[in-house]
Amino acid sequence: MNPERELAFAALQEFPVEVRRVTRAAESFNTVYRVEASEGTFALRVGPVLRIHAEGTAAAEAAWQRALVADGLAVPDVVLASSGEPMVVVHDVDGRPRTCVLFTWIRGRSMRARLGPARARMLGQLMARLHSHTFVLRDADVLRADKVLYWLLPDRLGDVPKHGKALTQARDSAQSLIDEVWTGRTPQLIHGDLTPANVIEASGLGPVPIDFQDLVHGFPEQDISITLASFGRRDDRDAMTESFRDGYTKIRPWPDASDTVMRGLIVARGLHQLNLSLATADGPLPQEYLDYHGTRAQSWLDH
């Protein structure tokens, strides 16, 4: 058995489930396993060695998701460990801690598979429902999205050849707008990554949001900008944006943010993601990827 699977089985011993079969379902930042048990089907998330979120993120994530489930919203439930905790920590062969969380399995298909304006409208409605949820966890130990680069990573934007100056200037310009967004307001929990890849279309349930791990304290317009940024390379991104907004405003008012602020927040999201790639890559990033972000940053500065 490989070491990663050993970690999964070690974690599963801490949950009140009778495991029958474990298969790897996905791997990106985390590794996710599909767990078939006597009690049903579950998803086990095994966290990486690198920690980019605050210490209390998993606990806050579990508390919010369980509150959403209790209020009748379709989201994966969090299965408590036998200890009563919403997560367990296991150690790899080098003694490094790995945080593991067990969720109920959502059977369906990723929204990304058949994405278009109609589904963008559904996504807008889904986000609005999350923003309207009254669960309050202001003291949660989670990150605050009051910076362009809020994950626990070094700032590497200035290290990009040819584009470093534009990227850092765009970071500073976007930071000024974020400072305005945060002035005199109380933030709320936001999903932090509600893109089509993190929504499952489940029969009988409709669109189901998953992967709340990137939740942060922030504001609705910041959450919206993350979704809109995910439309960025599509030819129909303007139609997608309009459909998303149409869906959102059917549930609640659109945030009172100017077009300048929204564009700046979208730029900030791109810089945030680029810095993650720069800080975690094993080797050089593709030049086309760096050129794309550098050109976007310069375009933002020029306008």
Same domain, residue pair 273 and 201: yes
Q: Distance (Å, rounded) from C-alpha 259 to C-alpha 253? A: 16
Same domain, residue pair 143 and 278: yes
Low-confidence ranges of the chain (pLDDT < 70): 1, 136, 138
Q: What is the pTM of this model?
A: 0.94
Cβ 175 vs Cβ 197: under 8 Å: no
Residue (of 300, 206, 222) closest to 260 by Cα position = 300
Q: Distance (Å, rounded) from C-alpha 153 to C-alpha 53? A: 9
Same domain, residue pair 123 and 200: yes
Same domain, residue pair 167 and 142: yes
Supply angle C-alpha 158, 162, 167, rounded to 5.
Answer: 40
Q: What is the pLDDT of residue 134?
A: 73
Same domain, residue pair 181 and 72: no
Token representation of residue 75: 């989201």
Same domain, residue pair 125 and 99: no
pLDDT in tens, 93-135: 889 999 999 999 999 999 998 899 999 999 999 999 999 987 7
Same domain, residue pair 183 and 50: no
Q: What is the CATH number of the domain that holds 130?
A: 3.90.1200.10
Same domain, residue pair 229 and 280: yes
Q: What is the pLDDT of residue 79?
A: 96
Q: Please say which residue of 80, 105, 130 terminates a domain.
A: 105
DSSP for 1-67, written as a single string: --HHHHHHHHHHTTSS--EEEEEEEEESSSEEEEEEETTEEEEEEE--SS--S-TTHHHHHHHHHHH
Same domain, residue pair 48 and 74: yes
Q: How many domains does the chain have?
A: 2
Cβ 63 vs Cβ 137: under 8 Å: yes
Q: Distance (Å, rounded) from C-alpha 150 to C-alpha 105? A: 30
Q: What is the pLDDT of residue 123?
A: 97
Residue (of 47, 50, 7) closest to 30 by Cα position = 47
Cβ 207 vs Cβ 200: under 8 Å: yes
Q: Please say which residue of 82, 105, 128 terminates a domain.
A: 105
Same domain, residue pair 149 and 290: yes
Cβ 292 vs Cβ 191: under 8 Å: no
Residue (of 240, 281, 25) closest to 116 by Cα position = 240
Q: What is the CATH number of the domain that holds 86?
A: 3.30.200.20
Same domain, residue pair 269 and 285: yes
Same domain, residue pair 140 and 205: yes
DSSP for 163-202, written as a single string: THHHHHHHHHHHHHHHHHHHTT---EEE-S---GGGEEEE
Token representation of residue 104: 């109920």
Q: What is the pLDDT of residue 53?
A: 95
Strand partners, 21: 36
Structural domain that includes position 298: 110-302
